[in-house]
Amino acid sequence: MSQNPVPPSRGNRAGSGPASQNEITAEIEEIEADAAARVAAGASPELQPRRDYAPYRSSVLRHPTHELVRVDPEEVERVSPAFGHTDVNVLESDLTIQHVGEPIGERMTVSGRVLDGEGRPVRHQLIELWQANAGGRYVHKRDQHPAPLDPNFTGVGRVITGDNGEYSFTTIKPGPYPWKNHVNAWRPAHIHFSLFGTAFTQRLITQMYFPSDPLFALDPIYQSIADADARARLIGHYDHSLSVPEFSLGYRWDIVLTGPKATWMESEDADD
Amino acid sequence: MTEPRIAPPTTAQTRAQQTPSQTIGPFYGYALPYTGGPELVPGNHPRAIRFHGTVTDGAGEPILDALLEIWQADQGGALSRELGSLDRDGFTFTGFGRCATTIAGHYTFTTIKPGAAGSGAPYILVTVFARGVTHHLFTRAYFAEDSALHADDAVLSRLPADRRNTLVCVSEGIVGGAQSYRFDIRMQGENETVFLDFDA
């Protein structure tokens, strides 16, 4: 393995260097067609990304080859850590006030609700958020691409959801940025979200995107969810009623967690 | 089945709208790890254990950008409802910890050995996030000295012996004054860790 000139985690399936966008796009389309054929043959749409998704090269050596072992959650999995206002300062939901000056970029608010699999609000739980700045650069030291850092923007926020599962962040719109999955690879603009439910089984880390991004079709991370309707659930929608005059543009994004399984009633599942 | 449902009438619809996962990516390092995240108890706690290991990929290479979370019962088998996982006071055991791997793919938690929360054997629930992992992976770390309970455990008893061992910590005895347990996580390939699906 040490003789392999290509780092395994970035390896090309053919082993001949980074792929072109056209090659990646062809792989993406082939998998989407396969997923659509399965649905046409009666399978359920794929609600989650494929773990083995070769167009996203880093997944090649990082997905299990065995099927996951399906088990009933025990008490450990049916509850979740409790987070609260002693853990998170209310000011942490505003990413634009963390430094002396105002960050550069399009100021926006992202608001929505966190719901469980039955549509009930997930109350008083932790949401963490992180993102690139308006130029598409992360503060993270491994991000060394030549876009400017913004001394007035870190890009980290936290909030505890309210009584109705609601949340709101004030931030700036992140920029798209290049990465090295393949030649001329660019990530659509996105915000990372980390969420807890009332059961640990509901844990979720995901990304929120913005409407009509021209990079969607080219991005193997967004496309790792092979079902078009499922991946569209990651798009926050512009909501003019959330825009604040003279201040910010508003986006709405509701997040639906799985389960918790403890509340499922099998007889009604059959109707879904 | 005669109990009234608490859910609103749109259950079928909302269930179908489950928000999909996306990878944590490589750049969470300034956002998710926090001071005290890996220390569920201080190292000088009389019952402190070291819970550590290496995360490797299908080529056997260390994964240097994984984030691990653990969640566990206390020594009596109870799950904490205490606040304070993010802002630790050094005395309250909340049962939650978070640790990013080092450039050697290694992680270390300081915690206590959990008691059994149910009828099965005690374990630590481990969640793995990493660049290249499109959807987090759950696994459980059991303890070798509880082998008498493992035969009846709902999960371990279902697994063939060679795979079962991937869920059992290696006991390393006392290291640096604390009982040390090693739990290596192999994402793929030989001795691939058993990952669990609790999906509702």
Distance from CA of B106 to the nearest CA of A (A): 16
pLDDT tens column, B52-73? 999 999 999 999 999 999 999 9
8 Å CB contact between B166 and B186: yes
- The token duo for A157 is 């926020």
Q: Quick one: average pLDDT of B15-19?
A: 74
Q: Which of A107, A190, A222, A231 is catalytic?
A: A190
Task: Output the tens digit of pLDDT for each of chain A's 272 residues.
Answer: 333 344 444 444 555 789 999 999 999 999 999 999 999 999 999 999 999 999 999 999 999 999 999 999 999 999 999 998 888 999 999 999 999 999 999 999 999 999 999 999 999 999 999 999 999 999 887 777 889 999 999 999 999 999 999 999 999 999 999 999 999 999 999 999 999 999 999 999 999 999 999 999 999 999 999 999 999 999 999 999 999 999 999 999 999 998 775 443 333 333 33
Does residue A230 sit at the B interface (CB-CB below 8 Å)?
yes
ipTM field: 0.92
Instruction: Verify whether the Cβ–Cβ distance A62 to B132 is below 8 Å.
Output: yes
- Residue A215 CB partners (closer than 8 Å, separation 6+): A176, A186, A187, A188
Which B-chain residues 59-88 have CB contacts (< 8 A) with chain A?
A: 59-61, 63, 65, 69, 71-73, 79-87
pLDDT digits (tens, 9 = 90+) for B67-93: 999 999 999 999 999 999 999 999 999
The stretches of chain B forming alpha helices (DSSP H) are 11-16, 147-150, 161-164
Q: Is A13 a catalytic residue?
A: no
Q: Distance (Å, rounded) from C-alpha B14 to C-alpha B18?
A: 7
Sort out which chain B residues have CB atoms less than 8 A from A140's CB and list them. 26-30
Cα end-to-end distance, chain A, whole Å: 48
Query: According to the model, what pLDDT value does residue B11 have?
Result: 44
Decide if A138 is catalytic: yes
Q: In angstroms, rounded to a whole number, what is the distance separating the alpha carbons of residues A147 and A124?
A: 37
User: Which chain A residues are closer than 8 Å to B30 by Cβ?
Assistant: 130, 138-141, 154-156
**pTM of the full structure:** 0.91
Q: Phi and psi dihedrals of A28, rounded to 5?
A: -60, -45
Using a CB–CB cutoff of 8 Å, tell me whether B102 touches chain A.
Answer: no
A50 interaction partners in chain B (CB closer than 8 Å)? 134
Chain A interface includes B136 (CB < 8 A): yes
Mean pLDDT across B128-147: 97
The region that residue B176 occupies, defined by phi over 0 for left and psi between -120 and 50 for alpha, beta otherwise, is left
Which of A182, A187, A231, A251 is catalytic? The answer is A187
**Distance (Å) from the alpha carbon of A201 to chain B's nearest alpha carbon:** 6
Q: Which residues of chain A neighbour B69 with C-beta distances below 8 Å?
A: 203
Q: Which of A74, A126, A200, A266 to mutate to test the interface with B (most CBs of B within 10 A)?
A: A74
What pLDDT score was predicted for residue A124? 95
Which residues, 6+ apart, have CB-to-CB distance to A165 below 8 Å?
Answer: A113, A114, A115, A120, A121, A122, A123
- Report which of B141, B139, B190, B124 is spatially closest to residue B162, judged by C-alpha positions: B190
**Cβ count within 10 A of residue A211:** 11
SS3 A160: strand
Distance from CA of A63 to the nearest CA of B (A): 6
B3, pLDDT greater than 80? no
A53 is catalytic: no
Q: Is the per-residue pLDDT at B14 higher than 50? A: no
CB-based contact (8 Å) between B191 and chain A? no
Chain B nearest CA to A40, separation (Å):
18
> pLDDT at position A84, please?
85
Are A64 and B188 a contacting pair at CB < 8 A?
yes
What's the rounded Cα separation, in Å, for the pair B47 and B113?
8
In this prediction, residue B141 carries a pLDDT of: 98
Record: contact A225-B196, CB cut-off 8 A: no
The verdict on whether A99 is a catalytic residue reads no
3-state secondary structure of A128: strand
Average pLDDT in the B172-177 region? 93
Find out whether A237 and A213 touch, Cβ atoms under 8 Å.
no
